[in-house]
Amino acid sequence: TLTGRQHFFLDHDWMHELGEALPIYRPPLDMNRLFGEPRLGSDGQREVTVRYLTPHNKWSIHSEYQDNLFMLSLSRGGQVIWMAPQDAEAIGVLDNDWVEAVNRNGVVVARAVVSHRMPEGTVYMHHAQERTVAVPKTEATGKRGGTHN
């Protein structure tokens, strides 16, 4: 925004012209139909399409300080992806299972945190976690990777 603050309503002529003055619902894009990207789960694996949010962690600077012993003792000790129970059930994931998040920018592997605090169709993973020790390689790329894709 022009002020640097968050706004729910943007009262600018150009925002009104673009229909962006208020937030509206937009369904997830069908990347296969729009861009010809391969469907996930086409070889029998289960998939779920979600909105992938990557908020900044409030206890770190870039990728620093998330993987020291003190910080790891406050959480599960590594990268996690929070997801709704409905989404986890749709793909057969239990709490603390390893999951792959795939999009056109890359692949990340992390443990699932299945929580009723997450709305169905939305997952989040803190931005800039680069702890790749003891993280399995992805099936899609054969590489390890944090959230810096």
Residue 35: name the closest of 104, 126, 125, 81 by CA: 104
The rounded mean pLDDT for the chain is 80
- Whether residue 24 is contained in a domain is answered as no
What is the DSSP code string of 14-63? Answer: HHHHTT-SS----PPP-HHHHH-PPPTTTTS------EEE-PPPTT-BTT
pTM here is: 0.70
- Whether residue 67 is contained in a domain is answered as yes
Q: What CATH number corresponds to the domain at position 106?
A: 2.40.40.20
Q: What is the mean pLDDT of residues 130-147?
A: 70
Q: How many domains does the chain have?
A: 1
User: pLDDT for 29-75, tens place per residue?
Assistant: 777 788 887 776 656 677 888 888 888 777 776 666 666 777 777 77
User: pLDDT for 1-18, tens place per residue?
Assistant: 567 777 778 788 998 898
Q: Is the pLDDT of residue 115 over 90?
A: yes
Looking at per-residue confidence, does 131 or 126 come out higher? 126
Residue 61: name the closest of 126, 1, 6, 4 by CA: 126
Structure tokens, 30:
């069908």
Q: Is the pLDDT of residue 125 over 70?
A: yes
Q: Is the pLDDT of residue 138 over 50?
A: yes
In whole angstroms, give the CA distance from residue 126 to residue 53.
8
- Whether residue 2 is contained in a domain is answered as no
Q: Going edge to edge, which strands form the sheet with 98-103?
A: 51-53, 122-124, 80-83, 106-114, 98-103
- Whether residue 140 is contained in a domain is answered as yes
- Whether residue 34 is contained in a domain is answered as no
Residue 136: name the closest of 114, 110, 112 by CA: 110
**Domain of 116?**
49-149
Q: What is the mean pLDDT of residues 143-149?
A: 61
In whole angstroms, give the CA distance from residue 54 to residue 103.
13
- Whether residue 126 is contained in a domain is answered as yes
